[in-house]
Each structure stands twice: as structure tokens, then as C-alpha cells.
Amino acid sequence: MKPSWILCLGAPLVLAACGSVAKEQAAPAPASPNVIAIAPDSAGVQTIAVQRQAVPDYLEIPGKIEPDPTSVIHVYPPLGGRVVSIAIRPGDHVHKGQELALLDSGDVAAARSDFQKAHADEELKQKALDRAKDLFEHQAIPEKDYQQAQADLLSAKAELARVQTQLKVLGLSENDPAGRMAVVSPPDAVVLDVGAAPGEFSKSLDAPAPLCTLANLETVWALGDVFEKDLVGLKAGTAAEVTANAYPTQKWEGRVGNIGDAVDANTRTLKLRVVLANGGEKLKPEMFVSIRVLRSTFEGIAVPTSAVLRESSGPYVFVQTAPGQFAKRDVATGRSIGAFVEVKSGLQAGETIVVDGALLIRASGS
């Protein structure tokens, strides 16, 4: 058995230590009934000193993505005919010269027939000229007959060149006798829409809808509507930031390319356009986005959003009046700036506010 004096000496030390801890954690008595007192070193409560700073004035505009109109191609068949097959679907990536659709067309057969006739006529006129030249050199025919043979050959060559050009424009081969025509992609692009199906009859350029619609999405436009009252400070060339609902953590940087010159009579807005590089083609046509444009900066106070609490009476913050003592202060808030919010009134530079743990302080005061 241990000596009893060891236990007697140990007890006062333990009590003294407990008293010391209790003394350090005790909350100071508040100087005012409106002040909430907590232990100065309470965990979870963080404060900062408020400072006046340059506050950016951003304009947030809802918008959507559209392809650059100069890169959108509506593909119509150059000749009328029946659609035999469609080789693409919306969303496909196609390359220049890739087959999009195959048509069975009588116009194709007619174009190739015109070429064969022109080619045969050119050969015939060439032989006629050779004979006329020989006869003229032997003075068997007058010079006017020789000149007429030369003119006939020139006319035949011109007609042959015309039908050859027509075949080239249509993308047809001179030697293929088939009456079918492949409609191919003019550039590398993405298929936005397909407007035909196998078995349909296409009326060439008179068709009500194209065979398909293609677009290059390497560069896209973010379009938004700006109200008249928000035009102050906006101009072409201003830096803009675009975020998409589909990619909330990603941002696209661009510049305002244009602000419309005409106000929409119904919505009282103008179109604002931001040109964006679309690497990876993540931004799709008709995708909803948010456009943020910096209009100006001004001197003011902005505090973290976590510092501002809201009740039915309005927003407020907790201001530190002394170590461990906090008072509720009503404030008037303005624009949201990322993770910060503008405070228009209610705070002065140099005051200390709670930015984390305000809910704990509110619970202590309830």
C-alpha cells in the first residue's frame, strides 16, 4: 500500500490545475446587454479587420452559346434527286471531303451526258480543222473555210471547258457513268442537324431545309441581353469571364466583341457578344452560360459572404467590441463579388468582424 501522504499532496495540485483551466475558459462579463460574450480563444471563431479597398463593379449577364455564324454551313445538294443514304448523325465530327449523303439523280446523268457530247464534238472539230488546214495549204479550199474550222474548234473547246467546270463544281467524275452523286463536307466541322432521310426527294437549292447543317466550334460566341440601365461602363474590348452551368468550376476568358446598336422594342435590351476560344469543344450551341463583365472599380468595403447573416429584419454582422465580446450590427449590402459581398453602410474601416463562427455566436446569444 502507498503512503497516504502522497494522495494528500496530489489532490491540491489537481484542484489548482482545474481551477486555472476553468478561469481561462470563462467568458468575460459583457459590458452591455446587447453584447454577446464568449471565451476569447473559442475554437471555430475567426475575425478580420475591415479595410477599404478597390471593389470591382461586375455586371452579371445570363446568356447562351451560339456558333460563329460565319462558320455555320447549310449543306444543300447542288442537283435534285432522291436521297439514297445519309452517312452522318447530329454530333458527328466530319472531315473535309467526307461523304455526308448519297443521291440518285437524273440531273447527274444529264450532266455527264453533256460532258460526253462536248468531248466528242471537240474531237470532231479538231479533226475537221486538221483537214481544212491541209486543204488550205494545198489551195483546195478558200481561206474563209479554214477560218471557219478554226472558229468551230474554239467554240467546241469552250463548251467542253464549261461542262468540265460544271462536273467539278458538282463533285462528279468525268469517267463515272453512274447516275449517283455523293454530297461531301466542305470543311472539317461538327454536324449540328440533319434535315433529310433516305427515300426523300431533294429539290436542290429549292429545298425547304438543308440536307444537314455543319459548324466549326473551335470558336464560339457567348450572347447575352443587356438592359439599357446597365450600359454605363460597357464597351467593346472589355475583358469578360464566362462560366457554364455544365462546368461550374471552369471559366473561359474572352473580350466583349460587340454591343448591339439597336434596342429590342419588347425586352428593352441590347445584344452583347463575347468571342471565346473553345478548346476541346466543351461549349455547345444553346448551352446556358453566365457572362461577367468588369465595368469599373470603386473604393468601398467588401467582406466575406460568410460574415453576413440574414434574418427577416435584414442582413447583419457581428462586430468585436472587446476580446471575447461581440455586438450585432445591421448592415446594408450591395453587389456579390465572388466569395465577397459589398457593404454599403454599417461598417467602418478598422473595425473587426467575425468571418467564421458567426452562427456559434448567434446561438450563444439566443
Banded model confidence at residue 78, pLDDT cuts 50, 70, 90 = confident
Kindly state the average pLDDT of the residues 157-180. Answer: 84
Return the CATH architecture of domain 27-53+299-365.
Beta Barrel (2.40)
Cell of 197: 432521310
Residues 242 and 290 sit within 8 Å (Cβ to Cβ): yes
- C-alpha grid cell, residue 332: 446594408
Q: Output 206 or 21, whichever has higher pLDDT.
A: 206
| Mean pLDDT across 28-37 | 64
Residue 31 predicted with pLDDT over 70: no
Each residue's pLDDT tens digit, 213-234:
999 999 999 999 999 888 888 8
Q: How far is CA 143 from the centre of its chain?
A: 72
Cα–Cα distance for residue pair 7/1, rounded to 1 Å: 12
CA distance 1 to 18: 27
Cβ contacts of 62 within 8 Å, gap of 6 or more: 224, 225, 288, 289, 290, 291
Q: Quick: pLDDT tens for 229-262.
A: 888 888 888 889 999 988 988 999 999 999 988 8
Query: Which pLDDT tens digit goes with each residue over 36-77?
Result: 877 766 677 888 898 888 888 888 899 999 999 999 999 988
Band the pLDDT of 32: cuts 50, 70, 90: low
Considering the four listed CATH numbers 3.40.50.300, 2.40.30.170, 3.30.365.10, 3.30.70.3280, the one that applies to the domain covering 59-69+216-297 is 2.40.30.170
Q: Residue 7's pLDDT is what?
A: 30
Q: Which one is predicted more confidently, 180 or 332? A: 332
Name the DSSP letter for residue 71: G
CATH 1.10.287 fits 106-178, yes or no: yes
Alpha-carbon distance 36 to 28, whole Å? 10
> Which range has highest mean pLDDT (3-12, 17-26, 58-67, 102-111)?
58-67
Higher pLDDT, 297 or 89: 89
Domain spans, the chain:
27-53+299-365, 59-69+216-297, 72-105+188-215, 106-178
Rounded Cα–Cα distance for residues 280 and 255 (Å)? 19
pLDDT given at position 342:
87
CATH 2.40.50.100 matches 72-105+188-215: yes
